[in-house]
Structure formats: structure tokens, C-alpha cells
Amino acid sequence: MEENSRLKPEEIVAYFKEEFKAKVKESRIERRVAGVNKNEYVNIWIKIDKSIFKKAVKHLCSLQFPHLAVVSGNDLGKNIELIYHFSLYYGERLGEISLNLSVEIPKSNPTIETICDIIPGALTTEREKQEMLGVKISGIPDSRRLFLPDDFPEGIYPWRKDETGPQKMVRNLNEVRK
């Protein structure tokens, strides 16, 4: 994908804020240096509201087709936070910017839309979130289990910290059997 004008990190954040105004809840830009020459690399963290999630991803794709690395998830008590790790401007020496979009969804209604129609490579990571955190991804083309065995009980989500966590299933391999 040819890119005529590379945006600076502040401009990328402004690009989202202009389009979605108040639905962009928080944003921060982290700059770090590495090596003897102190080259800089940039991480951008943006928190957006669930209602504009899919539009925000489409908006991002109009900058450049991004690389979706993975989706990670946090159990925050009442909500579940999903963080989509994208990266932009790969292919240029020292030019890549990591963009992390995070969305919070309530545990009472843990649904979110799929982005497989925009980025087909997201299928594997969306299937994993369904079984590990109990999130329902609407519109996903294939909703079978990915890593857990088929006879693993329903309703137990290994990454959750509440009562649906895997405590009952944990075995200590070191214990001595009589």
C-alpha cells in the first residue's frame, strides 16, 4: 500500500479525534529511545467507546492497511477490556508506529462486532477471545473452539478472575498420588 504522506503520531491522534470527537476517551503517546544512536520509537494508546469501534477500524484502514498483531484482554471486574494491537507504516526503516486501540465492554452484555470482513487475518485471535474471556463476537464466520478441548466445560473462562475462572480445573502435577 503506497503511502503519500506519513502522519506524525500527534496527527494520527488528531485524525481520530476529529472524526469521532467525544467518543475518543483517552489517548497517550509514549516515546522511547534505544541503542547508542538513541533512535526513537513510538507507541500510541487510544481508548475508544464501543459504539464507534468498527467505524474506527475502517477509519484506520483508510490511512494504510494496518498489521493486526493480536488482541489482548483484561478482566477489570465489571468490564472486560479488549486491546487491539495494530502497527502502521511498516516497510520503512525506523518508521513503524504501534497503535493500540482499547475498547471496554460490560460483563452483563459482552458482545462486540467482528472485524473479519475488513481484516480477514483477525479470525484466529477473535476465536481465542471467545473461549478465553467469554466475549461474544457477533458476525464471526467461524465460532468453534480454538485451543481448549471440546470436552472442557462451558462457562469456564481461563482468563477471567471472577467465579467463572478455571480454579476448579487446576491440577498440581507435583502432588503425590497415594
Partner 1 sequence: MRRKTTSKTTYTLPIGPIHPAFKEPVMFEFEIDGEKIVDVDVSLGQVHRGIEWAGMQRNPIQILYLAERICGICSFSHPIAFARAVENAANIEVPERAEYLRVIHGELERIASHILWAGVAAHEIGFDSVLYLTWRMREKVLDLTEYLTGNRVTKAMITIGGVRRDITKDNIPKIRETLEYYKKNFEKLRHVFLDDKTIKLRSKNCGILTFEDALKLCAVGPTARASGVKKDVRVDQAYAAYGDLDIKHITPDILTGEINGDVYDRIVVRLLEVKQSIDLIEQCIDKMPSGDIVSEPKIPKLLSAIKKNAGEGIGRHEAPRGEVIHYVKLDGENEKPYTWKARAPTYNNILPWIPMLKGEQIADIPIVAASTDPCISCTNRVLIINKKHRKIMSREQLHRLSVEKTRRLMKTHHIIGGGTI
Partner 2 sequence: MAKGLSRSFKKALWVYHINSGSCNGCDIEIIAALTPRYDVERFGIKLVGSPRHADVLLITGPVTRQMEDKVKRVYEQIPDPKAVICVGNCGNTGGVFYESYNLVGPIDNIIPVDIHVVGCPPRPEAIIDAVAKAWVKLETMEEK
Residues that bind partner 1 (CB under 8 A): 1, 30, 32-37, 39-41, 43, 45, 65, 67-70, 72-75, 83, 85, 87, 89-96, 98, 100, 119-125, 141-142, 144-149, 158-159, 166
Distance CA 172, CA 101 (A): 37
CB of 127 to partner 1, least distance (A): 10
Radius of gyration of the CA atoms of the chain, in A: 19
Q: Using an 8 Å Cβ cutoff, are 71 and 137 in contact?
A: no
Taking CB under 8 A as the rule, which mask of x and - marks residues 133-152 in contact with partner 2? ---------------xx-xx
Name which of 14 and 169 has its Cβ closer to partner 1.
169
CB of 161 to partner 2, least distance (A): 14
163 binds partner 2 (CB under 8 A): no
Provide the strand spans (E) within 13-115: 24-34, 39-48, 67-75, 79-88, 97-106, 111-113
Cell numbers for 14, please give them.
488528531
- Around 60, how many Cα atoms within 13 Å sit in the side-chain half-sphere? 27
CB of 104 to partner 1, least distance (A): 14
Which listed option, partner 2, partner 1, none, makes contact with residue 154 (CB within 5 to 8 Å by class)?
Answer: none
Helix axes 9-20, 53-61, angle to 10 degrees: 130
- Span near partner 2 by CB under 8 A; candidates 16-24, 59-67, 136-144, 168-176: 168-176
Which listed option, partner 2, partner 1, none, makes contact with residue 22 (CB within 5 to 8 Å by class)?
Answer: none
- Around 14, how many Cα atoms within 13 Å sit in the side-chain half-sphere? 5
Point out which residues bind partner 2 (CB under 8 A): 148-149, 151-152, 158, 166, 169-174, 177
